[in-house]
Amino acid sequence: MTRTPATRTWLIAFATIAIFMLPGGSQAISLPLGLSGTQYLLSLAESPAAPAPGETVLFTLSSTAIDLPSATISWYLDGTAEASGVGVTTFATQSGAAGSTHTVSVVAEGSDGTAAETKATLRPAAVSLQWEADSYVPPFYRGRALPAAGTSVTVHADAQLVGSGGAALPASSIRYQWSVNGTPRADLSGNGRDTITIAGPMPHGALVVAVTASADDGTYQAAAQTRIAAVTPVLDLYAADPLLGIRYGDALSNGSTLSAGKATIALAPYYMAAASPDSSALSYRWEVNGDPVLADPGTPSRLTLALSGGAAGAAAVSLALSDSLAAFQSASGAWQLMVSANAASTPFGSAAKANPF
Amino acid sequence: MPRLPRIDLARFYRYAMPVTVAAIILILIALGIWFLYLHEKQSVTDAVSAGRGLGTDVSSAFPGGSAYQNVVSAVSSVFGGGTSATSTPAGATKAAPQLWEVATAPAASITFAKDGTSTVARFLDAASGNIFDADPATSVIARRTKTLMPRIAQGAWYGEEGAVLRYEDNAGIETFSGSINAATTTGSLSATEAQALAANGPGDLEGAMLPRGILDLVAASSSIFYIAPYNGEYAGTIAKPDGSDAKRIWTSPLAEWRAQLAGNRILLVQAASEGVTGSAYELGTDGSSSLVLANLPGLAARENATTHAILYSTVGGSGAITLSVRASDGKVQTLPFATFADKCAWDPAAPSVVYCAVPHAIPQGSVLPDAWYRGEVHFDDAIWRFDTATGSVSQAYDPHAANRSLDILDPMVSPDGTYLAFRDAASGTGWVLRLTAK
């Protein structure tokens, strides 16, 4: 596209007048070549728009006034020339630490003599999304509580927005805009609203939670998103010892041997919505060697296996578990266990009903 | 005069007699059931009582307490059992084997205590809550406390004689903090002290219960830091070991933080799960915090108490395990091991050196570290040494050399860099490995 000198003059004059009419416009003019007012001829895009500290940022120049492929383009970082050449419309650099400020300037001189320049300020900021579910995991469990059906998820956004003075902006000075699965959630958004609690994902589904954290004055902005996938509850059986407690460090598996003629096993229903394995919301259906067995109603997650006759034997234990509070939540498991006979057996069967165990 | 009713014997024998006999039979059956029920309840009560230490002999100069016997009689093959406060079998001055299982009974925690030139491994018996000192130089094992607290799941240590015992009760997680009664000995045991202990018997663990529901806790020489629910959030609190002078220095809307001490700092790491991002903060004792690791999948970490370098492992959604070190200047170095930070320990005597238990093979098809934390899978580890300053890598020890397969958990290196103590994740037992050949 070519323009007559008169047109160019009018454009520059108009742009100059316009920029002085903008609030704060005079502060924005500090360009390497002093081509004041010409930044309206250029457009400088930054990707990502809200860079994190240390992240590579790509700047792309475009213009409707200058033929950039034939223009000589020079890039500056904090006033120092970094790159130059004909048609060099992109420039990549790495952002600094949180709170740092760097200026990227670019000057484009068209083949017809038209020159313009513009700049952008690089203000890296970051937001870390942290979450956990309110599902059940046993005491002292090292891992994360994950969301199965019927659970809730708490998501916290820790925005690392550092003001120009070097101090971190408090959460109350930051506006958090949340979206869940692409839907903006105005009801959860607002100044200082850095934590949300929402219903967990549907079975086999996932939540994509995104947040944009912006400083009150709009100078700093950071965005992040996280995917929270639904899990299937995990049922693990453990030996429960009167002296050692429940042996959470070593789950029972097929072929596991319980070292007594009368042994108690305990179930841990990982990731279910119930607060406790013995919650009244959970319905247990135990079977031992094919026979239904009733556990103690007070502790339905535990079952005592007692050998009849003092001999060692195998026990096929199965369990179907459902949660009345979570419509889609149920789980089942089956274990082939061995019970050794090194402890005195009793004439009694399992906890509530006579059985080979 | 009223007329007495006439007894119709024929009617009585026809109707009343069968009813009476049936009632007697029913009563006898009910009594039988009652007897059987009481018998069963008594068995259960006995087991629970035993679990609480009732009926267990109180130790004396030569304690015969069953809880003690459970531990010391199961002390590794070096001893073959002993019932005195100090286990001094024949050849007690003989050094323990390079890889030493200090007891075959599960330990809730193991650490090192130092007294002069002697380094002992101090461990907490999970079944009794008793504290034992195991001296790898002499093979002597001494019971330091006789206070019974069964079902200990987790322990921590402070000062020369302090211990924190944590267990699950019906009401939730309980935490007891106490110190070994100085009536016996202080510090670890010299041969003379061991003899004195044998004469005087082990002491009590005297202390106080801390607030209920503490989610995680670490202990330093004269203070503790714990995370507990507070006003709908979770607060990190610094207090004296007895819980006094508590001061909340940090809060979070999230509960699942794993704390560890790193010199004068506390590292808080989100609980790990495969492919799930986690973050870590460094916390100062004044409550200042800085985000040091952010949004890393499956994050677990161990911070160096001297250099504050952070060793961390990540597990991506594909299950790939990566171990890295982030120096205090932020530079990241990747280690040539596929293992979890939970299996690594910095060497206090050589701050650039880290020891890691590295599985010979990673089980395929398991979600890690979740399945490992749940106790569903166990590893067969060898111990490797890595110098972050030079990049040198060497194998420190392979338990296969002692025909052992160990799933190493929470290792720690003794202050002088001579020993590595750890627990086996499968059995829960405590172990000591001599790192330097003697």
Identify the pLDDT of residue A37.
Answer: 65
Tell me the range of A76-90, A113-127, B89-103 where mean pLDDT is highest: A76-90
B277/A129 CB distance under 8 A? yes
pTM score, whole prediction? 0.78
Q: How many residues belong to chain A?
A: 357
Identify the pLDDT of residue A112.
Answer: 85
Question: Measured between beta carbons, which residues in chain B are less than 8 angstroms from residue A270?
Answer: 374
Report the pLDDT averaged over residues B306-316.
Answer: 96
For β-strands B162-169 and B172-180, DSSP reports them as antiparallel
Q: How far apart are CA B31 and CA B278, in angstroms?
A: 61
Q: How far apart are CA A11 and CA A64, in angstroms?
A: 12
Per-residue pLDDT for A114 more than 90?
A: no
Of the candidates A128, A144, A236, the beta carbon closest to that of B294 is on: A128
B43/A346 CB distance under 8 A? yes
A154/B425 CB distance under 8 A? no
According to DSSP H, which parts of B369-433 are helical? 370-373
The answer to whether A65 touches A81, Cβ cutoff 8 Å, is no
Of the candidates B166, B272, B425, the beta carbon closest to that of A144 is on: B272
- Chain B: give the shortest CA distance to residue A80, in Å: 26
B48/A242 CB distance under 8 A? yes
CA-nearest of B376, B372, B429, B374 to B406 is B429
B interface test, pick of A162, A194, A244 with most B CB neighbours within 10 Å: A244
CA-nearest of A250, A266, A238, A258 to A307 is A258
B67/A245 CB distance under 8 A? no
N-to-C CA span, chain A: 91
Contacts of residue B237, defined as CB under 8 A and 6 or more positions apart, other chains included, come to B225, B226, B227, B228, B246, B247, B248, B249
Question: Measured between beta carbons, which residues in chain B are less than 8 angstroms from residue A195?
Answer: 253
B279/A130 CB distance under 8 A? yes
B50/A243 CB distance under 8 A? yes
The answer to whether B97 touches B78, Cβ cutoff 8 Å, is yes
Query: Locate tokens 């890295």: which residue?
Result: B324
Identify the pLDDT of residue A115.
Answer: 87
Question: Measured between beta carbons, which residues in chain A are less than 8 angstroms from residue B254?
Answer: 130-132, 154, 156
Model confidence at A19, pLDDT cuts 50, 70, 90, reads very low
Q: How far apart are CA A27 and CA A13, in angstroms?
A: 18
The answer to whether B315 touches B380, Cβ cutoff 8 Å, is no
Helix (H, G, I), strand (E, B) or coil at A25: helix
A interface test, pick of B276, B296, B299, B423 with most A CB neighbours within 10 Å: B276
Query: Locate tokens 């020489």: which residue?
Result: B221
| CB count in 10 Å sphere of residue B14 | 10
A219 or B265, which is more confident? B265
Q: How far apart are CA B127 and CA B149, in angstroms?
A: 8
Query: What six digits make up the tokens of B278?
Result: 């986690």
Question: Measured between beta carbons, which residues in chain B are less than 8 angstroms from residue A241?
Answer: 51, 127
Rg (CA), chain B: 28
Q: How far apart are CA A108 and CA A86, in angstroms?
A: 9
∠ CA A165-A167-A172, rounded to 5°:
120
Q: How far apart are CA A77 and CA A55, in angstroms?
A: 16
B370/A131 CB distance under 8 A? no
Which DSSP category does B14 fall into? I
Identify the pLDDT of residue B59.
Answer: 33
Q: How far is CA A35 from the centre of its chain?
A: 44
Query: What six digits make up the tokens of B97?
Result: 């084997």
Mean pLDDT of all residues belonging to chain A = 82
Question: Measured between beta carbons, which residues in chain B are less than 8 angstroms from residue A130?
Answer: 254, 270, 277-279
A251/B376 CB distance under 8 A? yes
Mean pLDDT of all residues belonging to chain B = 83
B interface test, pick of A132, A137, A142 with most B CB neighbours within 10 Å: A142
- Chain B: give the shortest CA distance to residue A338, in Å: 17
HEC sequence for A133-177: ECCCCCCCCCECCCCCCCCEEEEEEEEECECCCCCECCHHHEEEE
Report the pLDDT averaged over residues A116-127.
Answer: 86
Chain A with chain B: Cβ pairs closer than 8 A? 129
The answer to whether A103 touches A122, Cβ cutoff 8 Å, is yes
- Chain B: give the shortest CA distance to residue A129, in Å: 7
**Tens digits of per-residue pLDDT, B183-209?**
544 445 556 555 655 556 678 899 999
A245/B151 CB distance under 8 A? yes
B173/A140 CB distance under 8 A? yes
Q: How far apart are CA B73 and CA B67, in angstroms?
A: 10
Q: How many residues belong to chain B?
A: 438
Measured CA to CA in angstroms, residue B194 lies from B68, B117, B414 at distances of 17, 15, 21
DSSP track, B296-365? EET-EEEE-TTT--EEEEEE-TT--EEEEEE-TTS-EEEES----GGGEEE-TTSTTEEEEEEESSPPTT
Per-residue pLDDT for A336 more than 90?
A: yes
- Chain B: give the shortest CA distance to residue A9, in Å: 51
Report the pLDDT averaged over residues B401-419.
Answer: 96
A142/B172 CB distance under 8 A? no
Flag whether the ipTM exceeds 0.90. no
Contacts of residue A71, defined as CB under 8 A and 6 or more positions apart, other chains included, come to A86, A87, A108, A109, A110, A111
Q: φ and ψ at B222, to 5 degrees?
A: -135, 20
Model confidence at B52, pLDDT cuts 50, 70, 90, reads very low
Report the pLDDT averaged over residues A317-336.
Answer: 87
B interface test, pick of A95, A130, A208, A353 with most B CB neighbours within 10 Å: A130
Question: Measured between beta carbons, which residues in chain A are less than 8 angstroms from residue B342?
Answer: 142
Q: How far apart are CA A122 and CA A321, in angstroms?
A: 55
Q: How far is CA A229 from the centre of its chain?
A: 10
Percent of chain A having pLDDT more than 90? Answer: 51
- Name the percent of chain B in helix, strand, coil, to the closest 5: 15, 40, 45
Q: How far apart are CA B113 and CA B108, in angstroms?
A: 16
- Chain A: give the shortest CA distance to residue B419, in Å: 24
